[in-house]
Chains A and B, each alone.
Chain A
């Protein structure tokens, strides 16, 4: 019985941590959308800022990857 509860906890935890990935998706969308609106206002400055865009996206999605990692660890390692 205890094993089942632990198993259930693992799955619930993994599911909850999957929320983090959705939130990271919001963050990445926010970064990209703001970049796009800025780029459309001043297209001449956009090309020089793509590196910054990718760095921002990378930072935002790294946190989503962390929550994915938590889910994986719960599913397969704990």
Chain B
């Protein structure tokens, strides 16, 4: 009996304890309305804070940063393009200058060529004139020489004929010598 009473007391104590702590607090249904109410309040407050203030702000900051980065990249791209343009212009200028120089050189060369040609032509003409003159002189000299030869031949022929004691007809002799010279 004593043990029974003891157990009964124990059971009562257990029951009292259980009532006091509610066993597992998680399944103490008396606190559910309270928790659910405050949970809903909390969630609504957080939702309002996030959807009205925090998220749009952070989103805009992120978008702004993205925009800044994109702009910077675009600016860099533009600068790069400009640099390329400048390089192209420089190359163009260089090529132009080179062409110009080439042209000047060609012109100078052409001018010099012309002068040279003129001088050459003049010199050629002079040379030709001189050559012609010399030719003429030579021709004259040669003609003179020929004439002299004929004269000498005629004279000689006349002399020879005279020596042979015959009267030499000057005209016949001259004709014979000429024919002989031609022959």
Contacts and interface: CB of A to CB of B under 8 A. Distances in A.
When A and B assemble into the complex, do they touch directly, with CB atoms less than 8 Å apart? yes
Chain A contact residues: over half helix, strand or loop, or mixed? Answer: helix
B19 to A, nearest CB: 13
Interface in B12-52: 23-24, 27
B7 A73 contact: no
B24 A76 contact: yes
B139 interface: no
Interface string A1-38: 10100000000000000000000000000000000000
B23 A77 contact: yes
A72 B11 contact: no
A3 B4 CA distance: 10
A3 to B, nearest CB: 6
A73 B24 CA distance: 7
A69 to B, nearest CB: 9
Interface of A: 1, 3, 72-73, 76-77
8 contacts: A1-B3, A3-B7, A72-B24, A73-B24, A73-B27, A76-B24, A77-B24, A77-B27
